[in-house]
Structure 1
Amino acid sequence: MSNRVEELESKVKELQAAVNGLTEELVETKERVRQLEEEVDVDVAPTGRRRDRAAETADEETQAEADKADDAKEGDDEEQSSGSDIIVA
């Protein structure tokens, strides 16, 4: 029966070594991710999701272009409708 106990103790030591190794790898990976995030200048959005500032800038530029297109379209609509001076009250 002592042979079985020795086997179990050996297995526990192996598992503890594996857990310690994985924990160390996790800590190193988290540190590397933090370094990479600093390099690419990542922000955390209010939703908790991470957003790259370059992506945000591109989104803002796209939105600005869409707003300009909408403004231009509204201007065209106003030019077309300015021919009638009918006011509905």
Structure 2
Amino acid sequence: MSNRVEELESQVSELRAAVDGLTEELVETKERLRQLEAATDAEPSVQSYAQSEADDETSPSESEAEEAKSAEEKAQESESGSDESDIIVA
């Protein structure tokens, strides 16, 4: 039976060493994660970068051109609509 006790004590020692090693790795990983999160907070996010790119692509002259085109189309519709009846046949 003393052989069994020695085996169990050896196994307990190995498990303690494994737990200590894993605990140390966990602490180091958490610290690294905090560092990465702090660095990420300081950098612009991918979403904010994509939004700024989209804002750059739509220039004010394009917006104005689209609004002018829309106004012209509405004017044409109102002119053509006055000549025809308002009844639509499907």
TM-score, normalised to structure 1's length? 0.63
- Percent identity for Structure 1 against Structure 2: 45
Q: 1:72 to 1:16 in 2, by over 3 A?
A: farther
Could you report, residue by residue, the CA deviation over 1:17-46 in whole angstroms, capped at 9, with x for unpaired residues?
A: 11111111111111011012212326xxxx
Once the two structures are TM-superposed, the CA of residue 65 in structure 1 deviates from its matched residue by 5.8
The structure where helix makes up a greater share of residues is: 2
Structure 1, unpaired ranges of 5+: 43-51
Once the two structures are TM-superposed, the CA of residue 55 in structure 1 deviates from its matched residue by 0.9
Asked if 1:55 is matched to 2:56, the reply is no
Match in the other structure for 1:45: none
How many residue pairs align between the two structures? 79
Flag the structure with larger Rg. 2
The structure where strand makes up a greater share of residues is: 1
Equivalent residue letter for 2:74? S
Q: 1:65 to 1:80 in 2, by over 3 A?
A: farther
Match in the other structure for 1:31: 31
Match in the other structure for 2:3: 3
Q: 1:73 to 1:21 in 2, by over 3 A?
A: farther
Equivalent residue letter for 2:28? E
Structure 2, unpaired ranges of 5+: none
